[in-house]
Amino acid sequence: MSIHGPADGWVESPDGRRFWGRAGAAGLLVIDADERVLLQHRVEWSHFGGTWGLPGGARQFDETAVEGALRESGEEAAVPGEALQLLFASVLDLGFWSYTTVVARVTEPFDAIVSDAESLELRWVPRDEVDALPLHPGFAASWSGLSAHLDTRVHLIVDAANVVGSRPDGWWRDRAGAAARLLGDLQAGSAEGLPASLVLDETTDAEPSAGAPTSWWPSITVVLEGEATAAAAQSTGPGIDVVRAPADGDAAVVERVDGILGSTPEARVIVVTADRALAGRVERLGARVVGPQKLLAALARD
């Protein structure tokens, strides 16, 4: 494997195993509308050459895991990042080295093209046939955990009035400004995905299985009411929908939950509120409720 930058190189574990990428590595698992996964047949001279795995490679020191996965898949398979919807990520962290699998769905069909010397072939493989191929050991270990969540759709619905009111930042003097700050925090904080602890209702202390999500990119709905509705004339960006309730914000939250679960019962819906009455209403519909502080802590993490 040729070396192109300062982060391209081997990291050796205490037991002598070698892992590619001085800043860790990342790969992209992309699935299309026909339930096919894009796999790379690795060239013989590469690490575990001859096996099938995901387009990916070493991260650079100044890029995030998502940036690294998209860059590498673009370089190796001509995957266009703008044709993808990010779903979740899974991190294998060995302490001295990490590998992040970024999972996405195709929103606009594209042709994968062998773009460098690291691939023998690129192939769209039906998801139920992936196990039949000789897989890269790392991908083989994580595939079961990754595939178990490919159909999960996560929706985060934020009761903005309740969240804004939970932090004493002077919101009562400028409700629209406080709501705008929350929208900005959501946009920035969700860029690299929100932690799985916010999305999953984990009730055991068991170690997560290989491939289990460590972060998610949910569809986010923010419900504004009263003076706060002036905070947004339109959606703040991809993945965030702003609902300006004409009167009752709680009713708008319930309506959105009912609409999602009525059309997609298997969806995972999380409502952020500390309002007990609202919490009871959405829980009866099948949503999970988390408090404002859990969301704010997730947005504030490094």
Q: What pLDDT score was predicted for residue 21?
A: 84
How many whole angstroms separate alpha carbon 101 and alpha carbon 89? 5
193 inside domain: yes
Long-range contacts of 144-147 (CB under 8 A, 24+ apart): 144/209, 144/210, 144/211, 145/90, 145/208, 145/209, 145/210, 145/211, 145/212, 146/29, 146/90, 146/101, 146/103, 146/211, 147/211
Predicted TM-score of the model (pTM): 0.88
| Total domains, the chain | 2
Q: Are 231 and 164 in contact (CB under 8 A)?
A: no
pLDDT of residue 8: 85
- Return the pLDDT at 235: 43
Question: Given this model, what pLDDT does residue 301 score?
Answer: 67
The reported pLDDT for the residue numbered 6 is 83
Residues 103 and 186 in one domain: no
Task: Mark the ranges of the chain whose per-residue pLDDT is less than 70.
Answer: 1-4, 201-208, 232-239, 301-302
Domain containing 268 — which CATH number? 3.40.50
Domain endpoint, select from 95, 118, 147: 147
Domain limit, last residue, from 124, 147, 170: 147
Q: Specify whether 17 is located in the same domain as 40.
A: yes
On the 0-12 / 13-18 / 19+ scale of CB atoms within 10 A, 40 is buried
Q: Same domain for 168 and 138? A: no
Residue 259: partners with Cβ closer than 8 Å, 6 or more residues away: none
Q: Which domain holds residue 130?
A: 10-147
> For residue 105, which phi and psi values (nearest 5 degrees)?
-105, 145
